[in-house]
Structure 1
Amino acid sequence: MTAAAQWRPMRADDVDGVVAVAASAFPDHFERRDCFAERFALFAQGCFVLAEGDAVKGYLIAYPWPLGAIPPLNSLLGALPEARDTWYLHDLALHPDMRGQGHARPIVERLASEARAQGAVRIALVSVNDSVPFWQGLGFEPLAGDATLARKLESYGAASRYMVRAL
């Protein structure tokens, strides 16, 4: 792990850095700046950045969302559900020069701890870019869904999988 890079809560002025990291990490899954800004505005306690000085080198964004549901890519949420037993890990992304240095596990564990403390019993996500083994290493398992879920997963790419981690 790079000693200078540290995870911290996201701030509103980090959004442009988050967008830049997202563009490098997910070139096939574009999301507008206002999507990231809205998620931060709706649920700041689920938003973190890996900062190296003032530079954003990674981010994690999560928020409460119904189990088995997937927010459409590049769209505004409008509001969050009242039920908070499942948190959706929208994105975990690292700048290419931060990958492979052990930065992912600490923030996923921090998220799990925060979610559990707020009454969540699981975290869900969509695995993209052939990352199922990576997420399994962090305690997530693929979950079969219904036809509606399968249709939504199509927009994330052929190899995408819905995964869940019990807390």
Structure 2
Amino acid sequence: MLALPYPRFRYPDLSRPEERAYDSRNLHLHDLVIADDLRGRGLGSRLLRQLTMTAARSSFERISLVAVGGTGGFWAGHGFRPEPAVELNGGYGDGAVYMSCPVQYDRSGGPEEGS
């Protein structure tokens, strides 16, 4: 898993290296990969819960990502919603979708996924 502070409605351009770091209340989930032989065990959901808790403790307000390879349904099931105003370029491929989700807190004061 790789996540970094990045301005909301923006995303890394895969065709060039990053030239600066951002101070942002948006945490961009750039990559989450589960090995083929370990998929289907809930590991992606567990990693996302850990990221959400870390984001909440670090005062991030939102988590964004670019859903690729038909993974939009997985992310939607975890509270991420498409941001149709964001046009993607930079090598993400056909069907890629920019999505985001607020970092929420449950009643006990801990972080909660989704919206």
Q: TM-score range by the shorter chain?
A: 0.7 to 0.9
- 1:115-126 equivalences in 2 (<5 Å): 115-126=55-66
Letter in 1 for 2:31: D
1:160 lines up with 2:96 in the alignment: yes
TM-fit CA distance, 1:74: 5.0
For structure 2, the residue ranges without an aligned partner over 5 or more in a row are 104-115
TM-score with structure 2 setting the length: 0.83
Per-residue deviation at 1:163? 0.3
> Would you say the 8 A contact 2:3–2:27 is kept in 1?
yes
1:13-53 per-residue CA deviation (whole Å, 9 max, x = no partner) reads: xxxxxxxxxxxxxxxxxxxxxxxxxxxxxxxxxxxxxxxxx
TM-score, normalised to structure 1, is 0.58
Q: Write out per-residue CA displacement over residues 123-157 of structure 1, whole angstroms, 9 at most, x where no aligned residue.
A: 00000001110111111111122xxx41426x211
Superposed counterparts of 1:99-114, under 5 Å: 99-114=39-54
**Amino acid corresponding to residue 96 of structure 2 in structure 1:** S
Give the aligned partner of residue 32 of structure 2: 92
Distance 2:23 2:100 in 1: 20
Q: Distance in 1 between matches of 2:27 and 2:60?
A: 7
Preserved CA contact (<8 Å) 2:27 2:63: yes
Identity of aligned residues (%): 29
CA contact (8 A) 1:127 1:162 kept: yes
1:115 maps to amino acid: A
- CA RMSD of superposed structures (Å): 1.4
Amino acid at match of 2:6: W
- Out of 12, 16, 20, the position equivalent to 1:75 is 16
In our comparison, the structure showing a higher alpha carbon Rg is 1
- Residue 4 (structure 1) aligns with: none
- Tell me the distance in 2 between the aligned counterparts of 1:151 and 1:67: 13
Q: Which runs of 5+ in 1 are unaligned?
A: 1-59
* Matched length: 103
Cα pair 1:70 1:152 within 8 Å, conserved: no
Q: Aligned equivalents of 2:92 and 2:98: distance in 1?
A: 10
Counterpart residue type for residue 79 of structure 2: G
User: Would you say the 8 A contact 2:88–2:97 is kept in 1?
Assistant: no
